Amino acid sequence: MLETVVAVVEQSAGGQDPWTLGTARDLYDLPFNDLIYRSHTFHRANFDANSVQLSKLLNIKTGGCPEDCGYCSQSAHHASGLTASKLMKLDDVVSEALKAKESGATRYCMGAAWRSPKPRDEPAIVEMVKAVKSLGLETCMTLGMLSPQQAETFADAGLDYYNHNIDTSERFYPEVITSRTFDDRLETLAHVREAGIKVCSGGILGMGESVDDRIDMLVTLANLPVPPESVPINMLIPMPGSRLANAGPVDPIEFIRIIALARLMMPASSVRLTAGRTAMSDEMQALCFFAGANSIFIGDTLLTAANPGNDRDSSLLSRLGLRPTSVEMQGEL
């Protein structure tokens, strides 16, 4: 069976055939050792297997978001106790970006709790992109939905990446979010791609979805006209006051299988081990890296959630013999 599945995988990964849920599920269901061996082989063929790209994420505007995403503490629909803030000042953003660079980050991501940016906010966002880029960092923004004109504006400012996760499968999506549709998400991704900005899009595991929902999320991403250059895989952090505050934990082996599947289905994309790492053992993270994850967020916080912190990450990477990706190496990948 392995030989048959691998042949189908190579055809799909090579762009010859679109991915189907059945094909991807067959791959997911392989014996764990076969799946991880194959994903690691694909990883080595496309990346330095002993290098991990470091990013830092800053909340440039916190809380008060009108969206009803069930997992988010920043939604105005949830009694999370989070106080809404105004957009950060440029000097403060640059100061934090400098700290991130000194910590080894090569990409700086800025997020605002909006449904979409208002015209009055666009000039400030443009200045942030330009200022952070001038520090020698890659820039990424996550601001909600974008119109074609907004995507063009941020592209002209030099924005490198735009993050807009599809979160889950199209089937399960309405169980998590009702204030915008799955197609709305895909439309923004199309606007970003058409503007020439690199796409960062992935999802969240642990919201009550099935294994097929997780796999179908990857099928959607892999079958985009151009797969995302960056694919964040988050493990839900149940946030107090949110609709998913009492969600149960994700099985570690199932999580690692999704990391491996993402690597196989999108071999040239960076697979980002994102939220939820505080609940992961070092051994679980090590297996994720072996399976194909090659990017993490550093720092003590990830938007409003806890993150392992630089000391724990440095210790783990050192124990595993992994080194941060340099700006020069990043440009070669």
Cα separation, 249 vs 11, whole angstroms: 34
Catalytic residue among 65, 107, 185, 243: 65
Catalytic residue among 140, 185, 214, 277: 140
Q: What's the pLDDT at 330?
A: 46
Catalytic residue among 185, 214, 272, 277: 272
Higher pLDDT, 249 or 266: 266
Strand ranges, E, within 229-275 = 230-235, 270-273
pTM: 0.90
Based on the residue annotation, tell me whether 288 is a catalytic residue of this protein.
no
Higher pLDDT, 326 or 303: 326
Confidence of residue 72 (pLDDT cuts 50, 70, 90): confident
Catalytic residue among 38, 72, 107, 243: 72
Cα separation, 85 vs 105, whole angstroms: 25
Is 60 exceeded by the pLDDT of residue 6? no
3-class secondary structure, 21:
helix
Higher pLDDT, 320 or 311: 320
Confidence of residue 4 (pLDDT cuts 50, 70, 90): low
Cα separation, 27 vs 41, whole angstroms: 14
Is 50 exceeded by the pLDDT of residue 332? no
Lowest mean pLDDT among 71-85, 113-127, 138-152, 269-283: 71-85
- Give the closest residue to 91 by CA, choosing from 142, 132, 122: 132
Percent of the chain with pLDDT over 90: 66
Range 198-203 average pLDDT: 97
Catalytic residue among 38, 69, 180, 263: 69
Q: What's the pLDDT at 78?
A: 52
Average pLDDT, the chain: 87
User: What are the beta bridge partners of residue 195?
Assistant: none
Is 80 exceeded by the pLDDT of residue 14? no
Q: What's the pLDDT at 47?
A: 96
Catalytic residue among 38, 107, 109, 185: 109
Catalytic residue among 107, 200, 257, 288: 200
Higher pLDDT, 166 or 10: 166
Is 80 exceeded by the pLDDT of residue 62? no
Based on the residue annotation, tell me whether 120 is a catalytic residue of this protein.
no
Range 202-212 average pLDDT: 96
Higher pLDDT, 181 or 327: 181
Percent of the chain with pLDDT over 70: 84
H helix runs in the chain, sequence order: 2-13, 21-28, 32-46, 90-102, 122-133, 148-156, 182-195, 211-222, 252-265, 282-291, 310-320, 327-332
Higher pLDDT, 59 or 264: 264
Handedness of CA 251, 252, 255, 256 (dihedral sign): negative
Domains of the chain: 2-332 (3.20.20.70)
